[in-house]
């Protein structure tokens, strides 16, 4: 047998077959290209930069025109959708194909590690399972309600002093401190007291935590962050320093708790109401794993609830008739006496009374429709796909649903979409009626729907009920334009400055 001839023949066949496959592949690809249609291009990242200060409104205008559109950027394809069918598809029907991806993980993990916000797949599933169980337990519900009542009483005392002296105050800042204290106590069982600043270590932690969040966010716009991290300079050096402060504080708390739990001879003698103690009972005691879980809860539960409460008070100042209706409902549901002490009123606020407050629930929900704490939420497409509207998306594309824009779409909410009208959430008997989570997307939807939704509503209702039973709020300057600051959460730019008047003497 002539091996050289045989080799030449085999090589020729392989080459020919390769050429045929390449030809078939490329012609299929170009056919696909021709067959696939992509969402219309509505602008580029330059338009986003030019409109940065009113970014969400700029994207709302585009959504009103296109429902789903693309923005061209130098690094990747970006798709923004307000179409509920697409939202349902990416968040539920084909959920596995739209995740956090490597990109988000690489940016967020410096602060958030492998916590629930940064991971996909089995790592996410495992944390979701344990956390969902814990969040549904009566122990955690009861403990968190006690914490909310105590903290709103402290907040109300500060508001009362400001009312006595006719001083203005920044309610957003006060809500930030109070929600941090609440989630911290529920997470670790420890008083942080950022409201009064009595705990020096706690104060340092709170500042380092806020700075770390802001510096993590900065990575999304800083293309040099990896080089800076490598050289340990600038924003990355600052991030590293702040994360160390956060870690030192958190690890100390975790190790203390582990020690206490192992020291306590009588297992039932130690109260295990906080999230950390609960997790220590059901998962392993790896401090890094616990740190990641708990820090993710703190970041999830702090700014979201505080900014929502601030926008809610803003809406009530703009709509005094709604403010009066909420106050009347709280009075009626609690059957409270005019002269009741604030702390006493807060302590006596029962779950049954909160459940009767349908109008309050509707007024908070209506606020979240127009001012969702997470205005845009992006996912990474993990493999080529076609959305229900018939347009294609490709592996690696970023695709975002837009709660802020969706809340303002006439095709979803009708012609009065931009009006603040809590009644739209009530049926003819005044009972709250929920909407499809693929239209009202403030809490996301599908398997990754916000895990703290019930927790957040309970906190917002307790805070609102106490504050609105006791005070009337007015904007300190009716002429000032109140708008948002463009960042991950929808903060009120430069805070919410109000004046409070006593509604009932306490």
Closest to ligand HEM by CB, 452 vs 495, is: 452
Does the footprint of ligand HEM cover residue 451 (CB under 6 A)? yes
- Contacts of residue 308, defined as CB under 8 A and 6 or more positions apart, other chains included, come to 364, 367, 368, 371, 373, 456, 460
| 426: helix, strand or coil | strand
Closest to ligand HEM by CB, 300 vs 363, is: 300
Does the footprint of ligand HEM cover residue 442 (CB under 6 A)? yes
Please select the residue that binds ligand HEM; options are 110, 189, 375, 452, rule is CB under 6 A: 452
Does the footprint of ligand HEM cover residue 362 (CB under 6 A)? no
Taking the complex as a whole, the smallest distance from the CB of residue 187 to ligand HEM amounts, in Å, to 8
Does the footprint of ligand HEM cover residue 297 (CB under 6 A)? yes
How many whole angstroms separate alpha carbon 222 and alpha carbon 160? 44
Stretch that binds ligand HEM, among 3-11, 160-168, 349-357, 436-444 (CB under 6 A): 436-444
Taking the complex as a whole, the smallest distance from the CB of residue 128 to ligand HEM amounts, in Å, to 5
Please select the residue that binds ligand HEM; options are 444, 464, 486, 506, rule is CB under 6 A: 444
**Residues between 98 and 117 with contacts to ligand HEM, criterion CB under 6 A:** 116-117
User: Cβ distance 140 to 186 under 8 Å?
Assistant: yes
Closest to ligand HEM by CB, 345 vs 457, is: 457
Q: Count how many Cα atoms sit within 13 Å of the Cα of residue 224 in the half-sphere of its side chain.
A: 8
Please select the residue that binds ligand HEM; options are 80, 420, 455, 463, rule is CB under 6 A: 455
Taking the complex as a whole, the smallest distance from the CB of residue 344 to ligand HEM amounts, in Å, to 26
Please select the residue that binds ligand HEM; options are 113, 301, 375, 437, rule is CB under 6 A: 301
User: Cβ distance 329 to 321 under 8 Å?
Assistant: no
Does the footprint of ligand HEM cover residue 82 (CB under 6 A)? no
**Binding-site size, ligand HEM (CB under 6 A):** 22
User: Cβ distance 426 to 362 under 8 Å?
Assistant: yes
Q: What is the β-pairing status of strands 385-386 and 398-401?
A: unpaired
Taking the complex as a whole, the smallest distance from the CB of residue 298 to ligand HEM amounts, in Å, to 8
Stretch that binds ligand HEM, among 42-50, 152-160, 296-304, 417-425 (CB under 6 A): 296-304
Stretch that binds ligand HEM, among 67-75, 105-113, 317-325, 452-460 (CB under 6 A): 452-460
What does 305-341 look like in DSSP terms, one character per residue? Answer: HHHHHHHHHHHHHH-HHHHHHHHHHHHHHHT--TT--
Hey, which residues does 374 pair with through a beta bridge? none
Give the E-state strand segments of 403-503 in sequence order. Answer: 471-475, 484-485, 491-492, 497-502
**Residues between 183 and 202 with contacts to ligand HEM, criterion CB under 6 A:** 183
Buried b (16+ CB within 10 A) or exposed e, 19-54: eeeeeeeeeeeeeeeeeeeebeebbeeebbeebeee
How many whole angstroms separate alpha carbon 387 and alpha carbon 452? 29
How many whole angstroms separate alpha carbon 4 and alpha carbon 10? 10
Does the footprint of ligand HEM cover residue 462 (CB under 6 A)? no
Q: What angle do CA 448, 298, 121 make, to 5 degrees?
A: 30
Site string for ligand HEM, 126-165 (x = CB under 6 A): --x-------------------------------------
User: Both tokens of residue 208?
Assistant: 């380092």
Does the footprint of ligand HEM cover residue 498 (CB under 6 A)? no
Taking the complex as a whole, the smallest distance from the CB of residue 450 to ligand HEM amounts, in Å, to 3
Q: What is the β-pairing status of strands 471-475 and 497-502?
A: antiparallel
Stretch that binds ligand HEM, among 31-39, 282-290, 302-310, 431-439 (CB under 6 A): 302-310
Taking the complex as a whole, the smallest distance from the CB of residue 499 to ligand HEM amounts, in Å, to 25
Stretch that binds ligand HEM, among 226-234, 440-448, 476-484, 494-502 (CB under 6 A): 440-448
* φ and ψ of 104, to 5 deg: -65, -40
Closest to ligand HEM by CB, 91 vs 280, is: 91
Closest to ligand HEM by CB, 208 vs 300, is: 300
- Nearest Cα neighbor of 186 from 219, 145, 214, 233 is 145
Closest to ligand HEM by CB, 404 vs 443, is: 443
- In the chain, what is the greatest distance between 2 CA atoms, to the nearest angstrom? 109
How many helices and strands, by DSSP H and E, does the chain display? 21, 13
Q: Which residue is nearest to ligand HEM (CB)?
A: 452
Closest to ligand HEM by CB, 182 vs 392, is: 182
Residue ranges binding ligand HEM (CB under 6 A): 116-117, 128, 183, 297, 300-301, 304-305, 308, 373-374, 377, 442-444, 448, 450-452, 455-456
């Amino acid at each position: 047998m002539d091996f050289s001839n045989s080799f030449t023949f085999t090589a020729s066949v392989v080459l020919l077959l390769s050429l045929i496959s390449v030809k078939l592949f490329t012609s299929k690809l170009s056919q696909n290209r021709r067959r696939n249609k992509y969402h219309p291009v509505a602008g580029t990242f330059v338009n986003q930069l030019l409109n940065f200060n009113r970014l969400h409104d700029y994207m709302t205008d585009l959504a009103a025109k296109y429902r789903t559109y693309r923005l061209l950027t130098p690094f990747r394809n970006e798709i923004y959708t307000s179409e509920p069918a697409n939202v349902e598809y990416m968040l539920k029907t084909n959920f596995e194909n739209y995740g956090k991806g490597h990109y988000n993980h690489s940016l967020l993990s410096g602060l958030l590690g492998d916590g629930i916000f940064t991971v996909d797949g089995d790592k996410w599933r495992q944390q979701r399972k344990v956390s969902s169980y814990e969040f549904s337990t009566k122990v955690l519900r009861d403990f968190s309600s006690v914490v909310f009542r105590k903290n709103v009483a402290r907040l109300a005392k500060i508001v009362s002093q400001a009312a006595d002296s006719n001083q203005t105050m920044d309610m957003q800042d006060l809500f930030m401190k109070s929600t941090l204290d609440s989630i911290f106590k529920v997470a670790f069982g420890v008083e942080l007291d950022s409201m009064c600043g009595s705990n020096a270590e706690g104060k340092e932690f709170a500042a380092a935590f806020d700075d770390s969040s802001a510096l993590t966010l900065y990575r999304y716009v800083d293309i040099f962050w990896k080089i800076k991290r490598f050289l340990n300079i600038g924003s990355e050096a600052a991030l590293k320093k702040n994360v160390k402060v956060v870690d030192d504080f958190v690890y100390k708390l975790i190790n203390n708790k582990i020690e206490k739990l192992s020291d306590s001879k009588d297992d039932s003698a130690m109260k295990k109401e906080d999230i950390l103690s609960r997790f220590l009972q059901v998962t392993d005691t790896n401090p890094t794993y616990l740190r990641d879980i708990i820090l993710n809860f703190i970041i999830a539960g702090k700014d979201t609830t505080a900014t929502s409460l601030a926008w809610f008070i803003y809406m009530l100042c703009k709509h005094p008739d709604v403010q009066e209706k909420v106050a009347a409902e709280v009075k009626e549901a609690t059957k409270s006496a005019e002269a009741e002490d604030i702390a006493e009123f807060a302590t006596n606020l029962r779950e049954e009374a909160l459940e009767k407050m349908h109008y309050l629930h509707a007024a908070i929900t209506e606020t979240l429709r127009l001012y969702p704490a997470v205005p845009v939420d992006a996912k990474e497409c993990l493999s080529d796909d076609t959305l229900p509207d018939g347009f294609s998306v490709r592996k690696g594309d970023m695709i975002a649903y837009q709660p802020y824009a969706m809340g303002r779409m006439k095709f979803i909410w009708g012609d009065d979409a931009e009006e603040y009208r809590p009644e739209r959430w009530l049926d003819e008997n005044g009972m709250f009626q929920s909407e499809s989570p693929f239209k009202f997307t403030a809490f996301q939807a599908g398997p990754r729907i916000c895990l703290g939704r019930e927790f957040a509503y309970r906190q917002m209702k307790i805070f609102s009920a106490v504050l609105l039973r006791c005070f009337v709020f007015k904007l300190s300057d009716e002429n000032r334009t109140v708008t948002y600051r463009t960042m991950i959460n929808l903060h009120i730019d430069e805070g919410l400055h109000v004046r409070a008047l006593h509604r009932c003497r306490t």
